[in-house]
Amino acid sequence: DADVTQTPRNRITKTGKRIMLECSQTKGHDRMYWYRQDPGLGLRLIYYSFDVKDINKGEISDGYSVSRQAQAKFSLSLESAIPNQTALYFCATRGAGTSSTDTQYFGPGTRLTVL
């Protein structure tokens, strides 16, 4: 089974709808991240969480919110989806500790299309 899972894998929705993307991990990592990827723009950080009570905005948090329901679960919500939120969304996890544990592990991604 995959260590980092995302649901749904694909979603098509309409402008103005509320959407939730979910991420679960079995790696036991404290740190979780949400990124979006657009062609030619690389991965941009939306939100990140160091633990259940520590949630931080990334560089492009406007229009998004998150919930860290448990150490293993980190959800991303679009309260009112708009077409320019069409993108590939990745969840990632990382263990706390020294630089040797800096590796971020990515989920398979969710392709979101907002019409």
Partner 1 sequence: QKEVEQNSGPLSVPEGAIASLNCTYSDRGSQSFFWYRQYSGKSPELIMSIYSNGDKEDGRFTAQLNKASQYVSLLIRDSQPSDSATYLCAVKAGRRALTFGSGTRLQVQP
- State the residues that interact with partner 1 by CB under 8 A: 33, 35, 40-45, 48, 50, 58, 90, 99, 102-109
Give the nearest distance from C-beta 3 to partner 1 in angstroms. 11
| CB of 109 or CB of 114, closer to partner 1 | 109
| CB of 48 or CB of 64, closer to partner 1 | 48
Strands (E), 1-115: 4-7, 10-13, 19-25, 31-38, 42-51, 54-57, 65-70, 73-78, 87-94, 105-106, 110-114
| CB of 73 or CB of 111, closer to partner 1 | 111
